[in-house]
Amino acid sequence: MQKIVPNVYLENKYIGVNLGIVVIGQELLLVDSPLHAEEVNEWFKVVSERGRPKFLVLLDSHPDRVLGSLNLTLPAIAQDQTLQTIREWADTFKGNAHPIGAEADQLKRITGVNNAIPEITFSERMVIHIGGKEIVFLHRPGPRPGSMWMVIPDLSVVFVGDTVTIDEPPYVGVSVLEPWLNSLDELRGSDMKSYALISSYGGRIDRKDINHMARFLRKVQSRVEKLEDGKNRNEEIERSAVDLMGDFSIQPLQKDLILKRLKTGLLDQSLLQFPDSA
């Protein structure tokens, strides 16, 4: 477990997402959940040695960070659109129903998905107070419509979820690209200079990582525009996905998964933007 700043930790041992812990007195904020039930139980036992878990924060609706939460009896905080997305899922999840290059694709069957529905949600901004500290939740659509940040001013920390990824490209099939680019501009702004920025894929990030993400998203925009007329779509997606993989240092064992993620993401994003070209 890595200490980011005093009382803020990051765990990257679980596949699919980095997990956060914020220690405030005797209470804990947990950021995202492991995917598998046995990992959730192990994680909860470990963090409970540091204090009393009070809330689970779900930074968006990606199944890798949400599905494991059905095994936690802990109030979850999320943005309204994340709530809506999870409500629309069937109570039985099958990973092969629409593979998106996620770890959750490998799940054969999970029941009780409705138990993952968050109890506390907000629209644009919400503030809670724990142990005299202010915790600010901000809606920052981008990777997913319900993506959000968690800001802790007293600790100068911002959890930005998948707004910036380092190790792997994100799934972009349900992304809102212009607001995402605007969020990257915000992270480069003067208001964020004093903050430690924490990504769910890669841990602590800096300006170089933000710039890299912006270049990647502009490439995605350009590739998706070429798919508008629907002609030669499969060939263009294949070429584009291979090209986009080159923007990341991907481990050989992950290449097939990442290629699937990029191909599916480009196709889904093109159908989202140009539904008449299907």
pLDDT tens, 219-243?
A: 999 999 988 877 788 899 999 999 9
Q: Please determine, for residue 276, whether its predicted confidence score (pLDDT) is greater than 80.
A: no
Indicate the CATH number of 2-277 among 3.60.15.10, 3.40.50.720, 3.90.700.10, 3.40.640.10: 3.60.15.10
User: What pLDDT does residue 167 have?
Assistant: 83
Q: Please determine, for residue 97, whether its predicted confidence score (pLDDT) is greater than 90.
A: no
Give burial (CB, 10 Å; 0-12/13-18/19+) of 38.
Answer: exposed
Closest CA relative to residue 147, chosen from 100, 99, 179, 120 = 179
User: What pLDDT does residue 89 have?
Assistant: 93
pLDDT tens-digit profile of 144-170? 999 999 999 999 999 999 999 998 999
- Provide the 10 A C-beta neighbour count for residue 249: 8
- 96 band by pLDDT with thresholds 50, 70 and 90: confident
**pTM of the model as a whole:** 0.94
User: What pLDDT does residue 277 have?
Assistant: 63
User: What pLDDT does residue 278 have?
Assistant: 59
CA 91 to chain centre: 21
